[in-house]
Amino acid sequence: MRLTVVGCAGSFPGPDSAASCYLVQADDADGRTWSVLLDLGSGALGPLQRHLDPADVDAIALSHLHPDHMADLCGLYVYLKYRPDGRTRAPLPVHGPVGTEPRLEEAYGTEAGERLVDQLAVRVWQAGGPVQVGPLTLTPVAVHHPVPAFGVRVAGPSEDDPDRTVVLAYTGDTDACEGVDALATGADLLLSEAAFVEGRDDAIRGIHLTGRRAGEAAARGGSGRLLLTHVPAWNSTDAAVLEAREVYDGPVEAARAGTTVRL
């Protein structure tokens, strides 16, 4: 399984990255590559095309319906519907919280008789209910954010030893909660948001993690490594990493757009 950071900017696109989008890929026993997107936030459809043809994505997993996690589904709909090469495919499965389909219709502004579902097959997350995409198993876990939100555990074959299952856990947007701890437990890689800053944002709870709170979850859950993401342009990624390192002994890095991690 490999994780490519398509976009990692928090809350809005930054000068060096689109908003949240992570491409997770794994090869099955026949050598076919399966591709899943965790979120497709504002600006992410552009850099996604550096990594694959968006029509080759097998499924999209939406953590929640804030624009920095789903806005570019509007552009993807246009891409799938109007591409001139005549290629057709089955509607692309999009897994998301309750309300995903009407939100997409509203965001795109569908006209009478036009249906997004002709291109995007929207399915509602059932908490704890896994979704299979080729060799990848996606399990949504409810987390703590002002709107219905999920983290996703992705289990799949290791790059080095396909018989071994590895786990990537993505927090989506959340404050510390049982869900984050469940995601972190036993994960080979915890891909955790760290949008808030210790000391500056202490009074605002129930929205985001800090680097420290992400590190605490990784430590409690015994995660193998920690990749911090969703750091807004007005924050320092170095500060988030330092916060996490104070409480977590494993490897900590900040996500960078365009990089790939092999698991």
Contacts for 115 with CB less than 8 Å, ≥ 6 apart? none
* Shortest separation between residue 64's beta carbon and Zn ion, angstroms: 6
- Alpha carbon 30 to chain centroid, angstroms: 26
* Shortest separation between residue 62's beta carbon and Zn ion, angstroms: 11
If the CB atoms of residues 68 and 72 are measured against Zn ion, the closer one turns out to be: 68
Please spell the DSSP secondary structure of 136-175, one letter per residue.
Answer: EEEEEEE-BSSS--EEEEEEEE-SS-TTSEEEEEE--S-B
If the CB atoms of residues 66 and 95 are measured against Zn ion, the closer one turns out to be: 66
* Shortest separation between residue 99's beta carbon and Zn ion, angstroms: 14
If the CB atoms of residues 144 and 153 are measured against Zn ion, the closer one turns out to be: 144
Contacts for 180 with CB less than 8 Å, ≥ 6 apart? 143, 144, 151, 171, 174, 192, 209, 217
If the CB atoms of residues 68 and 243 are measured against Zn ion, the closer one turns out to be: 68
Binding stretches for Zn ion (CB under 5 A): 66, 68, 173
* Shortest separation between residue 166's beta carbon and Zn ion, angstroms: 25
